Structure 1
Amino acid sequence: MRIGYFLSTEEYVPAELLEQARAAERAGFEALWISDHYHPWTDAQGQSPFVWSVIGALSQVCRLPVTTAVTCPTVRVHPAIVAQAAATSAVMHSGRFVLGVGSGEALNEHILGDVWPQTDVRLEMLEEAVAVIRELWRGGFVNHHGRHYTVEHARIYTLPDTPPPIYVSGFGPKAVDLAARIGDGFVNTSPDADLVRRFRAGGGDKPCQAGFKAAYAQTEEEGMRIAYERWPNAGVPGELSQVLPSPRHFEQAAELVRPEMMKDAFVCGRDADAHLAKIDEYAKAGFDEVYVANTGPNWQGMLDLYQREVFPRLR
């Protein structure tokens, strides 16, 4: 299993994200995830830089493969623009780039005043967007007049030698079936073997990526406190994460979340065994790659923990 590091753009300024990427490579992590948000989930997280600028900068500070986890190419950004951004990213990273896509959240996608569609429509839009992106990556001029998108006389001139893979996120049966049908790989955050089996039943033996969050601290209780302060939204249930429109609304919903619930959503503290156990959950579920994010100020401590205690026992 490949172990990667998850760069949380919701929490850190660009310079710190670049510093984390350098340190993750030195520590022995093999790849990077990076989130793509317009807003953080809560004001306590406090950041949200433009992901494509950060991805370009990453190409200058490390050589780790990068996957967007995940970009929504349907509402806030037209798929023709995502196609150009991803093509440039693949060129800058010498082909070590994967475009991870998903159907998105109102938190990021509502900002231009567009209607936030129902789930079935969002998935339909995602399928058409991926088709537009792949058509543009073939080179030549593209004219597309679809149900959701129009492209006229568009051509991407800066293209990688090989188009980047497109991995598709899915959490429910319909989304997983779409991922299997159109994706080159699968993205998720839960160690759910049923979802992996469903994806591979429909899509074949394609790569499956997943990620989880940690809150490194000297004690489990301290890690739990940090996680609760920064990411109480991790305990928000159901479809709220897809439909709530602003950090303020997530903070209101998170009033129902109790601090002890963070132990279910995060690996808290500095116990290497806890990290190894979490990684093992994803391995047993059938994932090929797992990415770990740290919340709070102690990210260097988590990287050191992996270099010193986790990686030697895994490898």
Structure 2
Amino acid sequence: MVRCGYFLSCEEFGPRELVRQAKMAEQAGFEALWISDHYHPWNDAQGNSPFVWSVIGALSEATSLPVTTAVTCPTVRIHPAIIAQAAATAAVQHEGRFVLGVGSGEALNEHIFGDAWPPAGIRLEMLEEAVAVIRALHSGEEITHHGRHYTVENARVYTVPDRPVPIYVSGFGPKAAGLAGRIGDGFVCTSPDADLVRMFREAGGAGKPTQGGFKVCHAPTAEEGLATAHQLWPNAMLPGELAQVLPTPRHFEQASELVGKDLMSGTLPCGPDPQSYLDTLRGYLDAGFDEVYVNQIGPDQERFFRFWEREIRPAIPQLAHV
């Protein structure tokens, strides 16, 4: 049976609210947590972006649920040697229930020091080297590394967990899915794309966990849910590589002016009908995902968790037999 988790959105909520949501998610029967890692939100309407590692530490005292970053970019904004230390500490805090999800990042978060934003192929190359650096440091040994993109000299992470931190790699295209299969301990994606799951498995990911995630907007009516989703997340409909290359929330707001509410209709579950939520979950199961993470858009979190506990969670076991 699929494991269902809750996706904590650092773009919409501050640190204390994220911890509160994690507690509610556990009480509602969610089995794990995703948490996003951004420097900026996608637009000003979302309005938040706390430092994720502080929140992850707080989560270790607030909940017993496993936590995965979805996802951290360990290549430009933060050096992989620092991410190695942060992830090792998080794994100790969570007593081994922490997964470092990594990806090649977006200019929105990574350009803030004025570094050139590399093309996709170079970003994937940087990601592969960064993962190798992180894994080496998680050995607890002193490491010196002189690579194409990163230098590490006489570095040792002293606080390490008993077992290496699992590193899952995100992929939204064939090259990234292939890299995830080759270097990752698991796969992360936000699309129910069976082809990407197949590419991941064929590239070396056979038998490794696959995590997928999607957004919803539970509300009294479908129209209210769609209106909230369109107000806060029109950027989700931007095509191609825009999400990777636009540099500021202002640019995302400008591009999102082209996204009418009608374009979002039918693209995510909205409103009170349980079937649309179950159908979306089923799509991820059919695509081959083992774990699925759900994010409720907007402030009405309590209503969503009640809805999930009463209407969705009891029906999930039947999905595997449909």
TM-score (normalizing by structure 1) = 0.99
> 1:196·1:285 contact (CA, 8 Å) conserved in 2?
yes
Contact in 2 for aligned 1:224/1:260 (Cα 8 Å): no
Secondary structure of the equivalent of 1:209?
strand
Instruction: Give the whole-Å Cα distance in 2 for the aligned partners of 1:264 and 1:40.
Output: 24
Q: Secondary structure at the match of 1:60?
A: helix
Q: Work out the CA distance in 2 between the residues paired with 1:262 and 1:293.
A: 16
Tell me by how many angstroms 1:205 deviates: 1.6
CA contact (8 A) 1:270 1:302 kept: no
Displacement, 1:294? 0.8
How many residue pairs match? The answer is: 315
Match of 2:12 in 1: 11
1:230-250 deviations in Å (ceiling 9; x for gaps): 111011111000000000000
Structure 1 match to 2:184: 183
Q: Is the 8 A contact 1:98 1:164 kept in 2?
A: yes
- Return the TM-score normalized by structure 2: 0.97
Q: What's the counterpart of residue 225 of structure 1?
A: 227
Q: Which residue of 2 aligns with 1:309?
A: 311
Deviation at 1:14, TM superposition (A): 0.8
CA distance in 2, matches of 1:260, 1:287: 29
Instruction: Give the AA of the match of 1:306.
Output: W
Distance 1:42 1:218 in 2: 25
1:106 alignment counterpart: 107
Q: Show structure 2 runs of 5+ residues with no match.
A: 318-322
Letter matched to residue 250 of structure 1: F
Residue 290 of structure 1, aligned match among 289, 292, 296? 292
Residue 265 of structure 1 deviates from its aligned partner by 3.5
Q: 1:264 to 1:246 in 2, by over 3 A?
A: farther
1:32 has 2:33 as partner: yes
Equivalent residue, structure 1, for 2:211: 209
Shift of 1:215: 1.0
Please state how far the C-alpha of 1:264 moved relative to its aligned partner.
3.9
Give the equivalent residue in structure 2 for 1:129: 130
Match of 2:302 in 1: 300
Equivalent residue number for residue 164 of structure 1: 165
Could you give the per-residue CA deviations for residues 51-75 of structure 1, whole angstroms, max 9, x where no partner exists?
0000000001000000000000000
The runs of 5 or more residues in structure 1 that have no matched partner are none
Structure 1 residue 301, shift from structure 2 partner: 1.2
Aligned pair 1:59/2:60, yes or no? yes
Q: Which amino acid aligns with 2:98?
A: F
The one-letter code sitting in structure 2 at the alignment partner of 1:46 is G
AA of the residue aligned to 1:255: E
Instruction: Tell me how far apart the structure 2 counterparts of residues 267 and 260 of structure 1 sit (CA, whole Å).
Output: 14
- SS for the counterpart of 1:81 is helix
Q: Residues of 1 paired with 2:42 and 2:282: CA distance? A: 28
- Counterpart code for 2:10: T
User: 1:270 Cα deviation (Å)?
Assistant: 1.8
Match of 1:236? Answer: 238
Correspondent of 1:258 among 250, 257, 260: 260
Q: Distance in 1 between matches of 2:192 and 2:229?
A: 20
CA distance in 1, matches of 2:150, 2:17: 36
